[in-house]
A and B are shown apart, each in its own frame.
Chain A
Amino acid sequence: AQSVTQLGSHVSVSEGALVLLRCNYSSSVPPYLFWYVQYPNQGLQLLLKYTTGATLVKGINGFEAEFKKSETSFHLTKPSAHMSDAAEYFCAVSPDNNNDMRFGAGTRLTVKP
């Protein structure tokens, strides 16, 4: 069975500061890991995903995440926050068939001017 824990339901950063959103997973099989972003009144949009290979994954809008098997983590980072990054972020894990994706509870990112 797979599950995801996102540490911190709310994160607030200043514009230009580092963004770090934490995600830890549990999986009985090698996981596929995802980060999605949800803007108000919009659907979820894929930021990045890890399947196999390089453990540092680069996504859209300057975000990246690193798969650390020893720590069962897949934290999302961005060097410099922008006001437009304010949204809800979801980490998700699935087994290799991608048919039962399990999402975390989400982290709401606020960016202060």
Chain B
Amino acid sequence: DTGVSQNPRHKITKRGQNVTFRCDPISEHNRLYWYRQTLGQGPEFLTYFQNEAQLEKSRLLSDRFSAERPKGSFSTLEIQRTEQGDSAMYLCASGQGSGTDTQYFGPGTRLTVL
């Protein structure tokens, strides 16, 4: 069990550029979650996968955001045409089994949009 990993850990980009983040969950975890955390706030739910199926998306996930989990293992979160308001920590978590399972969080990717 190597834990949830996220890459890159930090990303600085200019407004209007596209960025992609990767999350590798704990192996055999079939659930994968994406959250966004801004300074001074708790994480906000963005989206969730059960295996490769994206089952739920928050209204926070605008059309510029897309997430995939093509083989039910790692996941990517892409933000197109980044805006300064997208600057935040993007957290990934994974879990196993039914609804009350524990979510294990990765260290996050900090995005700064200049």
A is bound by B? yes
How many angstroms between the C-alpha atoms of A44 and B94 in the bound complex? 12
How many chain A residues have a CB neighbour from B under 8 Å? 25
For the complex, would chain B's binding face be called helix, strand, loop or mixed by DSSP majority?
loop
Is the Cβ of A99 less than 8 Å from the Cβ of B100? no
Is the Cβ of A44 less than 8 Å from the Cβ of B100? no
Is the Cβ of A49 less than 8 Å from the Cβ of B102? yes
In the complex, the chain A residue whose C-beta lies closest to that of B45 is: A100
Binds A, one of B70-78, B79-87, B103-111: B103-111
Q: Which B positions have Cβ atoms within 8 angstroms of A?
A: 3-4, 33, 40-45, 48, 55-56, 58, 91, 93, 95, 99-108
Answer whether residue A77 sits at the interface, using C-beta atoms and an 8 A cutoff: no
- Give 1 or 0 for each of A65-93: 1 = CB within 8 Å of chain B CB: 00000000000000000000000001010
Contacts of B55 in A (CB 8 A): 99
Contacts of A44 in B (CB 8 A): 43, 91, 93, 105
Known pairs A43-B107, A44-B105, A96-B99; A90 contacts B40 (CB<8 A): no
